[in-house]
Amino acid sequence: MREAYNVELENLATKLADMSVQVADAMERATKAMLESDLELAEQVISDDALVDDARADCEEQAYALLALQAPVATDLRIVLAAIHAAESLERMGDLALHVAKAARRRHPEPVLPEDVQPYFADMGKIVVKLARRVEQIIKTRDIEAARRLETEDDQVDDIHRHLFSVIMAKDWEHGVATAVDVTLLGRFYERYADHAVSVARRMVFVVTGRMPGYSTEEF
């Protein structure tokens, strides 16, 4: 029984890691679609979001079954509870990629962003996709040091996000209010995506140590 239970726990972790890959791919494609006004790629991200939703439902169903049938305690209980919360955060990451793709579709064939701010979003896209791919490895390895480093890397996204406000508020901003709103919303999507990646990493720290690192209530 114990061996079978451990296999189920590992299967649950594998599903979460697979979700990390899904949402990393989604944001990578959504960013490319936005920067290159690629409608076909945007549509792919939009249609694939249902797969992320299904993956979350599958993870939660298995987690609740483990709670109901096995009554786990200690580390096992932490794994199951962390999986439920992590699946929610990963689904939100998929939703945020979806929002980026929908912006690309909405503005097509025109570009979503003016050329002078595109490099900021290209940088944020690279960083957040890297965070999501590192989350995959953290889930697999439960490397708490890697999980803690993730939060430092998230600061890069926060810095770019803050800088965007100074860009759109500058006196020489010439792209109008509607574009400023787009830049603000899209910047927020990337910032929140990174926050959710950090949230998942923190859950893995909780699994290993039994203690949740400090966080703001907005993130969870």
* Confidence bin at 1 (pLDDT 50/70/90): low
Q: How far is it between the farthest Cα atoms of the chain?
A: 68
pLDDT of 210 reads: 87
Q: 103-158, pLDDT tens digit by residue?
A: 999 999 999 999 999 999 999 999 999 999 999 999 999 999 999 999 889 999 99
CATH number at residue 193: 1.20.58.220
pLDDT of 151 reads: 87
Q: What percent of the chain has pLDDT over 90?
A: 84
Cα–Cα dist 190/20, whole Å: 15
By C-alpha distance, which of 21, 48, 25, 3 is closest to 139? 21
Q: 49-85, pLDDT tens digit by residue?
A: 999 999 999 999 999 998 887 777 788 999 999 999 9
Do 77 and 83 contact (CB within 8 A), yes or no? no
Give the chain's domain count. 1
DSSP 217: G
Range list of H helices, the chain: 2-36, 39-70, 74-107, 118-141, 144-169, 176-209
Cα–Cα dist 179/118, whole Å: 12
Site of tokens 């020489």: 172
Domain carrying residue 118: 2-219
The pair of three-digit structure tokens given for residue 67, joined into one six-digit string: 């709670």
Half-sphere exposure of 84 (CA within 13 A, CB side): 13
Q: 151-208, pLDDT tens digit by residue?
A: 889 999 999 999 999 999 999 999 999 999 999 999 999 999 999 999 999 999 999 9
Calculate helix-pair angle for 39-70, 2-36, nearest 10 degrees: 160
Whether pTM exceeds 0.75: yes
